[in-house]
């Protein structure tokens, strides 16, 4: 009776599978070691995350190794595509990414495919990583004149929460310079209305930028000897747009990476392919506050200025189930509840930050702009010079006490902080303007709420911020621009 023949190839295949699966465990191992060895890269990956990644890589590698031998060009094409995904964020030219993948074509196809897969998970580890969530370090009391500016994106004036501690001065009629982030924050940092600095006005290719020679609040405070740091979100507040000026440390959440390569890749591919935001975005504000409190606790005894920008109120329509414009008519209360919940999350992080600073720090809390929630049929912000989008919460601690019933201009806040005199904020008339789609829309907001039109400035800014690349993707992801019709 003939004996069944054994397959001599099978043992070697399984040996190769096992060897490859063990080899790729170097990736999570290096992640763990690099985080411990170089804290500047961020906290090390969690052990549980590293184990999950190791199992996933082992399964992927085993599958690739077990595949039949294929054409030698396939690994180079796959590796080039995966490196191309990371090239933009790493600042590499696309051609360089392709050249780095070409040697994979010289390897045995299965080995080349394994290395091509590693091209997807290794590059994200070369960029800054977000700190892991955890209890903030104990804050250290320091003498005045420490100053902290907290800006909450898209927080309405009527959603100001309970302020922790005592000594707060709350302004009930604070008016932003513009109803959306870019021109409003330019005005806050430069101490000028939009009509004067000329930044954030829509053009055919993007938005105008202010004169870089105008000193910012941080530059002026730094010139007085203060140590400065910023921990911010929102794609419009990037260093490339000038918001880093005057800060010795400038952390932007768009530059952070997940400390776990698999999550970083999933966020990168999922964002581009399906529009799903990276996991990091969902926990951005807690990470911002942790990083800010860490810097605050570690700073020396010199006077400090810190700016923290939180995004939670802006994100209430990030849920795909709430993105449909039809809900504005069909279920407006559902949207209002979602906004209130998002605002509460942002306020909780702002409260945690304030409590962690200690009672002696001077604190200014303000929003960049408000949000229309169905008033006069409007939703969102940046579309009109109306009170729901222009009125913002403004609360100050350590710079004077008592209520502030009179109208104040947020654009005058920088000058008031430099002088230490909040009386300069009061204004019977506040200049407003700079819609997302209309460079000609300007007005005067009088004390009481009415806005009268005002002509646009005759001179036009010549410096333009183009909307392209990663910035365009980030703005599309949070709804500031549309891929079909440009800025909106």
pLDDT 10s digits, 320-343: 788 889 999 999 999 999 999 999
Structural domain of 275: 147-487
Q: How confident is the model over 109-130, as a mean pLDDT?
A: 74
Are 325 and 388 within one domain? yes
Are 157 and 30 within one domain? no
- Higher local confidence (pLDDT), 133 or 43: 133
Of 77, 94, 126, the one marking the end of a domain is 126
Q: What is the pLDDT of residue 472?
A: 72
Q: Map residue 362 onto helix, strand or coil.
A: strand
Using alpha carbons, list the distances in angstroms from residue 106 to 77, 84, 116, 162, 482: 12, 20, 12, 64, 43
What residues pair up with 226 in beta bridges, in sequence order? none
Are 286 and 337 within one domain? yes
Are 116 and 176 within one domain? no
Residue 250 lies in a domain: yes
Q: How confident is the model over 256-265, as a mean pLDDT?
A: 75
Q: Is the pLDDT of residue 11 over 80?
A: no
Quote the number of domains for the chain. Answer: 2
Chain centre distance of CA 249: 16
Are 115 and 255 within one domain? no
Q: How confident is the model over 227-247, as a mean pLDDT?
A: 93
176, two tokens: 């932003």
Are 249 and 170 within one domain? yes
Best-predicted range by mean pLDDT (30-34, 133-137, 139-143, 216-220):
216-220
Of 126, 157, 186, the one marking the end of a domain is 126
Note the pLDDT tens digit of each residue in 379-398: 999 999 999 999 999 999 98
Q: How confident is the model over 294-306, as a mean pLDDT?
A: 85
Confidence tier at 151 by pLDDT (50, 70, 90): very high
Nearest C-alpha neighbor of 24 from the set 86, 115, 108, 104: 115
First to last CA, the chain: 80
Are 114 and 162 within one domain? no
Q: What is the pLDDT of residue 480?
A: 67
Q: Map residue 200 onto helix, strand or coil.
A: coil
72, two tokens: 């030698």
Residue labelled with tokens 């414009």: 325
> How many Å apart are CA 482 and CA 7, to the nearest integer?
58
Of 94, 126, 158, the one marking the end of a domain is 126
Q: How confident is the model over 18-41, as a mean pLDDT?
A: 69
pTM of the model as a whole = 0.82
Are 305 and 413 within one domain? yes
Residue 35 lies in a domain: yes
Q: What is the pLDDT of residue 373?
A: 97
Are 205 and 157 within one domain? yes
Q: Map residue 430 onto helix, strand or coil.
A: strand
Note the pLDDT tens digit of each residue in 393-431: 999 998 876 566 689 999 999 999 988 888 878 888 999
Q: How confident is the model over 206-214, as a mean pLDDT?
A: 89
Residue 136 lies in a domain: no
Q: For the stretch 117-136, what's the b/e string if a residue is b when 16 or more beta carbons lie within 10 angstroms of its beta carbon?
A: bbbbbbbbbebebbbbeeeb
Note the pLDDT tens digit of each residue in 195-207: 999 999 988 778 8
Q: Do 385 and 435 meet the contact criterion of CB atoms below 8 Å apart?
A: yes
Best-predicted range by mean pLDDT (31-40, 91-100, 188-197):
188-197
- Higher local confidence (pLDDT), 442 or 205: 442
- Higher local confidence (pLDDT), 485 or 452: 452
Residue 315 lies in a domain: yes
Residue 473 lies in a domain: yes
What residues pair up with 373 in beta bridges, in sequence order? 379
Are 48 and 170 within one domain? no
Q: Do 305 and 292 meet the contact criterion of CB atoms below 8 Å apart?
A: no
Are 169 and 296 within one domain? yes
> How many Å apart are CA 131 and CA 39, to the nearest integer?
10
Residue 135 lies in a domain: no
Are 122 and 152 within one domain? no
Residue 5 lies in a domain: no
Q: Map residue 448 onto helix, strand or coil.
A: coil
Q: What is the pLDDT of residue 445?
A: 94
Chain centre distance of CA 484: 23
Q: What is the pLDDT of residue 69?
A: 65
Q: What is the pLDDT of residue 204?
A: 79
Nearest C-alpha neighbor of 434 from the set 206, 203, 200: 200
Confidence tier at 483 by pLDDT (50, 70, 90): very low
> How many Å apart are CA 418 and CA 339, to the nearest integer?
34
Nearest C-alpha neighbor of 213 from the set 419, 479, 463: 463
Q: Is the pLDDT of residue 345 over 80?
A: yes
Q: What is the pLDDT of residue 216?
A: 96
Give me the CATH number covering residue 442.
3.40.720.10
Nearest C-alpha neighbor of 118 from the set 70, 53, 71, 38: 53
Residue 3 lies in a domain: no
């Amino acid at each position: 009776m003939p004996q069944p023949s054994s397959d001599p190839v099978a043992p070697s295949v399984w040996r190769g599978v096992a060897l490859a699966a063990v080899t790729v465990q170097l990736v999570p191992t290096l992640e763990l070691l690099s985080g411990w060895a170089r804290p500047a890269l961020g906290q090390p990956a969690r052990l549980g995350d590293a184990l999950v990644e190791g199992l996933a890589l082992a399964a992927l590698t085993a599958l690739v190794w077990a595949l039949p031998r294929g054409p030698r060009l396939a690994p180079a094409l796959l590796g080039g595509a995966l490196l191309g995904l990371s090239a933009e964020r790493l600042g590499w030219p696309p051609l360089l990414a392709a050249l780095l993948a070409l040697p994979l074509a010289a390897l045995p196809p299965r080995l080349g495919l394994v290395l091509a897969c590693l091209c997807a998970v290794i590059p994200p580890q070369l960029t800054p990583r977000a700190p892991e969530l955890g209890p903030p370090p104990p804050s250290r009391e320091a003498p005045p004149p420490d100053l902290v500016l907290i800006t909450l994106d898209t927080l309405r004036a009527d959603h100001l929460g309970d302020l922790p501690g005592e000594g707060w001065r709350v302004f009930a009629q604070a008016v932003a310079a513009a109803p959306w982030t870019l021109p409003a924050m330019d005005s806050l940092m430069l101490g000028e209305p939009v009509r004067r600095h000329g930044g954030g006005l829509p053009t055919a290719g993007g938005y105008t930028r202010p004169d870089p020679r105008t000193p910012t609040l941080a530059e002026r405070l730094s010139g007085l000897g203060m140590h400065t740091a910023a921990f911010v979100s929102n794609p419009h507040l990037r260093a490339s747009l000038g918001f880093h000026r005057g800060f010795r440390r400038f952390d932007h959440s768009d530059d952070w990476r997940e400390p776990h390569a698999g999550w970083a890749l999933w966020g990168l591919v999922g964002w581009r392919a399906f529009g799903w935001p990276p996991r990091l975005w969902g926990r951005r504000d807690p990470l911002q506050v942790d990083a800010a409190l860490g810097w605050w606790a570690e700073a020396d005894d010199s006077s400090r200025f810190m700016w923290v920008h939180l995004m939670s109120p802006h994100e209430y329509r990030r849920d795909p189930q709430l993105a449909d414009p039809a809900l504005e008519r069909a279920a407006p209360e559902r949207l209002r509840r979602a906004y209130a919940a998002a605002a509460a999350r942002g306020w909780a992080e702002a409260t945690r930050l304030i409590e962690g600073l200690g009672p002696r720090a001077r604190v200014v809390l303000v929003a960049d702009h408000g949000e229309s929630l169905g008033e006069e049929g409007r939703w969102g912000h940046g579309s009109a010079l109306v009170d729901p989008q222009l009125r913002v919460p403004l609360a100050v601690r350590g710079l004077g006490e008592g209520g502030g019933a009179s109208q104040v201009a947020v654009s005058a806040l920088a000058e008031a902080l430099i002088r230490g005199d909040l009386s300069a904020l009061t204004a019977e008339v506040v200049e407003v303007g700079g819609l997302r789609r209309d460079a000609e829309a300007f007005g005067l907001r009088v004390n009481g709420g009415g806005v009268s039109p005002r002509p646009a400035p005759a001179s036009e800014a010549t410096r333009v911020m183009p909307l392209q690349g990663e910035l365009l993707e980030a703005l599309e992801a949070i709804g500031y621009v549309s891929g079909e019709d440009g800025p909106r």
